[in-house]
A and B are shown apart, each in its own frame.
Chain A
Amino acid sequence: MVRITTIVACAAALLLPGASRAQQWNSAGLEQSAIDASKTKSAPPPRRDLTGIWDAGGSGIAGPGHQSAPWTQWGQQKASAYKPGNGPRAVYEADINDPLSTVCDPAGFPRLVLYETRPFQVVQTPNQVLILYMFEKRWRVIGTDGRALPKDPDPRWYGYSVGHWEDDFTFVVQTVGMDERTWLDNAGNPHSGELKVEERYYRVNRDRMELTVTIDDAKTFTKPWLGRDKMPLTRAPANMDVMEMICSPTEVMDFRKNISDRTDKK
C-alpha cells in the first residue's frame, strides 16, 4: 500500500496501536503513553497563549457521535432525513447519506471539533487566533480584534468566529453563521442556521489544555448541550509534521462502489 493519503486507509491505520510513533514526516499524532504522561507533572501555562500543536488522541475521533439534548419537532424532522453510519440511528453501509463520508463535502464547523478532531496547530497573530486542522487540512480564523459577530450572515461551512480571553488561561470563542447542510457529528445530529457554538479552551498547564464545546440551537434542540466536556488535549512536539488526511471525492466514490458491488453479490 504505497499511497497513505487515502482517508479510508488513514482511518483504518490510525485505529492500530503504535501507528503514531514519532517521526520527522507524516506523524499520525502522539502515542497514548505521551498523552497519559501529560496528566502527571508539567510546567505552568504561559499567559494568553494557546500556540502549539495539540492532540486529543483517540477521544478526538468520536466515531459513534454524541449524546445530544432532545430534538425539537423541527430537529426531529431534519434528523429523519439523515442516515448516519454510527450512533443509535446507524443504517447499513450502502444506505448511509452522510455528506462527509459518502461524497466528501466539507465537514464544516462545529463537526470539525466534534468528529475527527485529530491534531491541530494553534497560531496567534496580533489580531487573530488561527487553528490549522490535520483533518481535511483546513484552517479557520478566530478574530480577536474586538469585532462583533455578523448579524444575519450568509452561511459558511466553517462559520464566523470571534474570541476573547476570559482570564489569562481561558480563551472563549463564539461562532455563528454555520451552513445548515453540515451534520454535527457521526450520529447524524442536525443543526439549523441559528446554531450558536461556544468553545472554551482552558490551558491547564504548559502541556495540557481542555476543550469544552456548547451547542445552542433552540430551533433544533430543546436545550443547549455539551458536545465536548473538558476534552483533554496534549501538546505535541513543535516539530511534528502531521500526515495528510484529506477526503477525496474520487477515492470515496471508488470505495462506495466497492461496497455496493459487494452488497449486490450478497
Chain B
Amino acid sequence: MVEFGRGRTLDIDMRTHFTFFTIAATALLSVVAAAQNLPWNNPGGVQGLAAPQTGPTAPAPKRDLSGIWDAGGAGIGARGMPAAPLTPWGDALGKTHHSGDGARMVPAPDINDPLSTMGDPSGFPRNLLFELRPFQVVHTPNQVLMLYMFEKRWRVIWTDGRQLPKDPDPRWYGYSVGRWEDDYTFVVNSVGTDERTWLDNAGNPHSNDLKVEERYRRVGRDLMELTVTLDDPKTYTRPWVARDKLQLRLLPPDTDLMEMIPSATEAAAVKKIYAGEK
C-alpha cells in the first residue's frame, strides 16, 4: 500500500511487483538498505553511499571506464535543472510541457510528462539528467556500452572513428561517438535525439538540433566525474551545463541491480488515482 497524498492510496502488492512508482517513492527515503552486500536487487542511489570519497584511492586505470557506477541521490535530479534562457521557439515548446517539478510545475492531475504519465521512453539525454541510477560501463574493441538500471536500457557509443550521421532520423537515445581526450578523459558527442522527449523533470524542452557532450573524467580507481553540456541554439540562447562534475562512485562488480522499469499499465493506474483527486 503506497500513499499518494490526501489520504489516497494505491493498492500495489509490493511483495509481488516492483513497480517504478513504488521504487521511486521508496528510493527517495533513506530507509532503503545499504546498497552493498545484497546478492540481488541492489537499489543503489542511497544518499551518502556515493558521497565524495575523502580517503585515498588507488590510481585510475588508463582509458578504462568499465565497472558499475553510482551517483547516489545526486543522480536523481527530481527538481530538474536550471537551464539557460529559452529562445522564443524554446519558450513556446516549453509552454506545452506541464511538468511535475520545477518552474513549470502543475497539480498532479494536469501533468503531461510523457515518461511519468505514459511510460514513454525517457530518452537521451534525459536519462543522464533524471533518474541517473547506477549504470554499468562495458568496453569492446570498438564501442563503449552504457547499461542503465533505470528503464533497463542500453546505448552504444562508437569508438571506431566513425562520423556522427548528417541529418539523422531521430532516435529516442540518439547517435553517439566517443574518443579519449587523454588517458583519463572520455568525451562523447551525440546528435539525432528525439524532440518528443523532455530534458528533465522540470519539462525543459529541446529540439532535434540538440548536440550533447558528455565528459567522463576518471579521477581515481573508485571515482569518476561526469559533465554534460547541452548545445541547442534553436531552444536556448546559449549552451549550458546540465551536469557539472557529477560524482560517480564505483560499486562492487558483483552488484546485481534491481529493476526499475516504468510500465504503461502501472502509469495508467497511478493516473486514475490522480484523476480521482481532481
Are A138 and B40 interface neighbours, CB within 8 A? Answer: no
Q: Which of B66, B119, B145 contacts A249 (CB 8 A)?
A: B119
A26 within 8 A of B: yes
In Å, the complex CA distance between A140 and B258 comes to 11
Task: Name the prevailing secondary structure of the B interface residues.
Answer: loop
Residue of A nearest to B39 (CB): A147
Are B172 and A5 interface neighbours, CB within 8 A? Answer: yes
Which residues between 228 and 250 of chain A lie within 8 Å of chain B, taking CB atoms? 238-239, 241, 244, 246, 248-250
Are A244 and B40 interface neighbours, CB within 8 A? Answer: no
B169 within 8 A of A: yes
Q: Which of B16, B121, B168, B170 contacts A25 (CB 8 A)?
A: B168
- Chain A residues near B172: list those with CB within 8 A: 5, 137, 244, 246, 248
A87 within 8 A of B: no
Are B140 and A123 interface neighbours, CB within 8 A? Answer: yes
Give the shortest distance, in Å, between B41 (CB) and chain A (any CB): 7
In Å, the complex CA distance between A180 and B170 comes to 34
In Å, the complex CA distance between A126 and B138 comes to 11
Q: Which of A147, A157, A181 contacts B259 (CB 8 A)?
A: A157
Are B253 and A125 interface neighbours, CB within 8 A? Answer: yes
A163 within 8 A of B: no
Given contacts A2-B169, A143-B256, whether A132 and B154 have CB atoms under 8 Å apart is: yes
Are A154 and B15 interface neighbours, CB within 8 A? Answer: yes
Are A125 and B16 interface neighbours, CB within 8 A? Answer: no
Which residues between 85 and 125 of chain B lie within 8 Å of chain A, taking CB atoms? 114, 118-121
Are A104 and B253 interface neighbours, CB within 8 A? Answer: no
In Å, the complex CA distance between A145 and B39 comes to 11
- Chain B residues near A105: list those with CB within 8 A: 263-265
- Chain A residues near B254: list those with CB within 8 A: 127, 143, 145, 147
Q: Which of B66, B119, B173 contacts A104 (CB 8 A)?
A: B119
Which residues between 127 and 180 of chain A lie within 8 Å of chain B, taking CB atoms? 127, 130, 132, 136-141, 143, 145, 147, 150, 153-158, 160, 179
B162 within 8 A of A: yes
Given contacts A24-B165, A25-B168, A103-B264, whether A153 and B194 have CB atoms under 8 Å apart is: no
Are A125 and B263 interface neighbours, CB within 8 A? Answer: no
| Between-chain CB contacts (< 8 Å), 5 pairs | A5-B170, A25-B165, A140-B152, A155-B16, A160-B256
Q: What is the interface of chain A, defined by CB distance below 8 A to chain B?
A: 2-5, 24-26, 51, 99, 103-106, 121, 123, 125-127, 130, 132, 136-141, 143, 145, 147, 150, 153-158, 160, 179, 181, 238-239, 241, 244, 246, 248-250, 253
List the 9 closest A-B pairs by CB distance, nearest first.
A249-B264, A103-B264, A139-B154, A249-B118, A4-B169, A156-B259, A244-B171, A132-B154, A139-B147
